[in-house]
Amino acid sequence: MAEFAFPHHPIKYPFHAFRGRLVQPFFWALFFLSPVLHLYQMDVIHQRLIAWGRVYPLNPVTLMWLPLGFFGCVVLIGLVSTFGGRLFCGWVCPHNTMTEWTYALRRWIGLGTLSFRQKQRERKRPWHKGVRIASSLLGAIALTYLISALFLFYFVPVSWFFHHLQAGTLPFIIWAGQALMMIIGLFMIYAGHEFCRNACPYGLLQSLSAYMSSKWIPMEIRYMFGSDQSACKSCHACQTACPVDIDPRNPENLVVGVGEGCFNCGECIDACSYVRAPQGEQKLLSFAPPTLSHGTTSHGREIAD
């Protein structure tokens, strides 16, 4: 059977709509607009800390709370990972959100499969490839500059930044910091989910939190019939929809970890529903809740009876 491809305006199933339309935009805005909205900002220019609209001086007592707050967030996300797997990556992580939103930029530069029209256009006009690459890079540079400015607002006031930008008096350290963040941002955009799967240290820490005990299984996406794939028509819709190109029918691919990298985003569940629902058939993939383990899986882990 031919490989599955979504139509231009696919039906949005619950997980896809909830994650893509609500959760990811909300946390993206929260991450990058917190200093603008005075929810959190460490103003090094005026030596003050702003938290939830309140101003605190940057003295030793205030600075003591910064690492405590950071490690508190790490512990909280670790607990979430223990029960829900690598949920932070798929639902909250700003890099993953940016990677999904900039898929068109990577495809436009040639890091994805070109459409039939693009291939035909480049055969007729060989110069089109250069235009395509240049426009993709210009878009990525504009995006990374915006992100670098939003990140910078965690440390300098917005009014101070724009005042010195318009006057041309921004310190060199600010320009250098933005340039460094833009280089990192360009790498993250074009590395895409390969960074998530193979290099992200935070993703590895989430995996360790989720699977540090052989007596516990966090929430996972599971294929209904285990190793029996006779009910599946092998349309590859689930794998096509997966942000990290995992085949969720193979249980070894669903172990949360670097190299596999399942985010529990639910895109494969939606894709399976999209294909099978019009035919009156039940989807073959679903979320399995956290559970204590008994028995052994095909990849050596214990599972519940």
Q: pLDDT of 199-231, one tens digit each?
A: 787 777 777 777 666 677 777 788 877 667 777
Q: Are 44 and 153 in contact (CB under 8 A)?
A: no
The alpha-helical segments, DSSP class H, found in 55-124 are: 60-84, 87, 94-101, 103-109, 116-124
pLDDT tens-digit series, residues 99-153: 888 877 777 776 655 566 666 666 777 777 777 778 888 888 998 999 999 999 9
- For position 145, what pLDDT does the model report? 92
pLDDT band at 283 (very low <50, low <70, confident <90, very high): confident
What whole-number distance in Å separates Cα of residue 24 and Cα of residue 102?
14
- For position 179, what pLDDT does the model report? 93
Task: State both tokens at 207.
Answer: 């995996």
**Type and span of the H or E element at 269:** helix 267-276
pLDDT tens-digit series, residues 56-88: 888 888 888 888 888 888 888 888 888 877 788
What whole-number distance in Å separates Cα of residue 25 and Cα of residue 144?
17
- For position 75, what pLDDT does the model report? 85
Residue 207 CB: number of other CB atoms within 10 A?
Answer: 24
Q: Are 15 and 270 in contact (CB under 8 A)?
A: yes
pTM: 0.71
User: Which of the pair, 254 or 179, is modelled with greater confidence?
Assistant: 179
What whole-number distance in Å separates Cα of residue 189 and Cα of residue 184?
9
* Nearest of 117, 147, 27, 6 to residue 77 by alpha carbon: 27
- For position 183, what pLDDT does the model report? 92
274 phi, psi to nearest 5 deg:
-60, -40
What whole-number distance in Å separates Cα of residue 181 and Cα of residue 147?
8
How far CA 13 is from CA of 16, 90, 199, 221, 236, in Å, comes to 6, 16, 31, 16, 18
Q: Is the pLDDT of residue 155 over 50?
A: yes
Task: State both tokens at 32.
Answer: 């990058």
Q: Are 32 and 39 in contact (CB under 8 A)?
A: no
The CB-side HSE value for 87 (13 A sphere, CA atoms) comes to 19
pLDDT tens-digit series, residues 253-263: 555 543 456 78
